[in-house]
Chain A
Amino acid sequence: MDPRQDVVSEADVSTVSLDVAAVFLKHREAMYRVAYAMLRTDHHNQAVDVIGEVMVAILKNPPDSVGNWEAYLVRAVQNKIRDLWKSAAHRHEQLLLAEATPTEGDRLGGDEVEDDPASEVVELLSRQQTVQTVRAAMAEMEAWDPQAAYVLWQCAGLERSSQQVADELGISGSRVRQIASKARKKLISLLEAKELHL
């Protein structure tokens, strides 16, 4: 038996290219988050379709060398969405969206194509941690007041109207708005207790 076959030298490893499937598995959360945020008010495009197209393009033309896959994939998703918006069919919507969502791009790594990819990823990861803190705070709220947590999740998280939620719960729309408002305040205080200040 050749003992050299049992170890992987650095040279071996460096010649191995990353599997696109493995890279996707590792970074799909970041890709989806960026796509969802950018497409929040876009009723024509879906995150899963955009990401599918990005991955198909990468499968067919794998990049030569990528220093930071997360930044690369996030940028690819952003560019794909911008391309869609620039297309003639969506020019009008793009104008509205540019006006409509001035903060999303900043939150998730910036709108400028020339941004530093590394800083984008740092910002993205930090935002991801913030969202995890929010999930933890929502779990606490669930224990404190399940109805408040439910109403907030439905209204703010899933963007259902207060009337839809009211009809479901058999209460008035104004009562839902009161509960949602109280829940937002409670969330802010829970986040502040976790040293996350809005």
Chain B
Amino acid sequence: MNEETDRLLERLLEAPPGPQREQILARIDANRREEALKLLDAGDLVWEAAHSAPPLEKDPVAAMLGVVPDPNFQLDAKALARACKTSRVKPTALASRLNARGWKIDASDVFRWQTRPAPDVPPALIKAIAEEVHSEPERLVARSQPQRTALVEVAENIAASPRFRDLVQRFATIRQISVEMAESAMKSRMLATVHRGDMPDQEQMLASLESLVHALETEQDR
């Protein structure tokens, strides 16, 4: 009897949540059911621990929203210092304004951005900074050489295609952002999407972007 329960317990722990699990649980001796439930709970907690948000750079939604730092769209320290001076916005004030928009920023961050390269600042935050210092995102950005990996090369090939240019234009229009920012977001999204599985071909990557832009346009038309 005990062996039978042990076998049931083994099967129970292998069963996914659902009717099968419930059926096995019902067949377990009442005096061992509490133990079985604890073991199930422990497993479910491990499942939850294993299922959290993907790393930022692998999250296509984050890429679409421009919160993935982009080496090709980096904040330029001198340009930011100049823009702050021109607009007479001090670091503390800029930090407060960005915080009011939902960004977790200290004045020390702004000081750092004005004095050192800031590869951690994502395009969406650069856009917010630009709005607060009455500038354009592109004016605050330093161009840098992208790292050449096989994946980046695929993305660059796609980026050179007329279809991608068209998608970037449409994305920029819908999101009311510059073409450069739209391009950054769409390239990041392409790269993030690739991390989800095998290396897709160019057609798949373009189709994925196309469906995103189409979804945004459809929402807009509603």
Contact = CB atoms under 8 A, between A and B. Distances in A.
Interface residues of B, number: 59
B102 A19 contact: yes
B212 A153 contact: no
B41 interface: yes
A26 B59 CA distance: 14
B53 A157 contact: no
A91 interface: no
B62 A24 contact: yes
A61 B219 CA distance: 8
Contacts of B13: 155-156, 177, 180-181, 184
Interface in A1-53: 1-2, 5-8, 12-13, 16-26, 28-29, 31-33, 36-37, 40-41, 48, 51-53
Contacts of B199: none
Contacts of A60: 174, 216, 219-220, 222
Chain A interface extent, by class: 35 or more
A187 interface: yes
Contacts of B61: 24, 28, 48, 51-52, 55
Contacts of B10: 177, 181
B65 interface: yes
Given A6-B90, A177-B10, A188-B38, A99 B18 contact: yes
Interface in B125-177: 125, 128, 174-175
Majority secondary structure of chain A interface residues (helix, strand, loop or mixed):
helix
Contacts of A61: 219, 222
B46 A153 contact: yes
Interface string B50-89: 1111100001111011110000000000000000000111
Contacts of A84: none
A44 B128 CA distance: 37
A187 to B, nearest CB: 5
Contact of A8 (B51, B87, B100): B100
A130 interface: yes
B52 A33 contact: yes
Nearest to A25: B67
Given A33-B52, A60-B220, A6 B39 contact: no
Contacts of A48: 54, 59-61, 196
A48 B208 CA distance: 13
B101 A16 contact: yes
B93 A8 contact: yes
A18 B49 contact: no
A126 interface: no
Interface of B: 9-10, 13-14, 16-19, 37-39, 41-54, 59-62, 64-67, 87-90, 92-93, 96-97, 100-104, 122, 124-125, 128, 174-175, 196, 212, 215-216, 219-220, 222
19 contacts: A6-B88, A18-B102, A19-B101, A21-B124, A21-B125, A22-B67, A22-B125, A33-B48, A41-B17, A51-B61, A96-B18, A134-B49, A155-B14, A157-B47, A162-B14, A181-B10, A181-B13, A188-B39, A198-B41
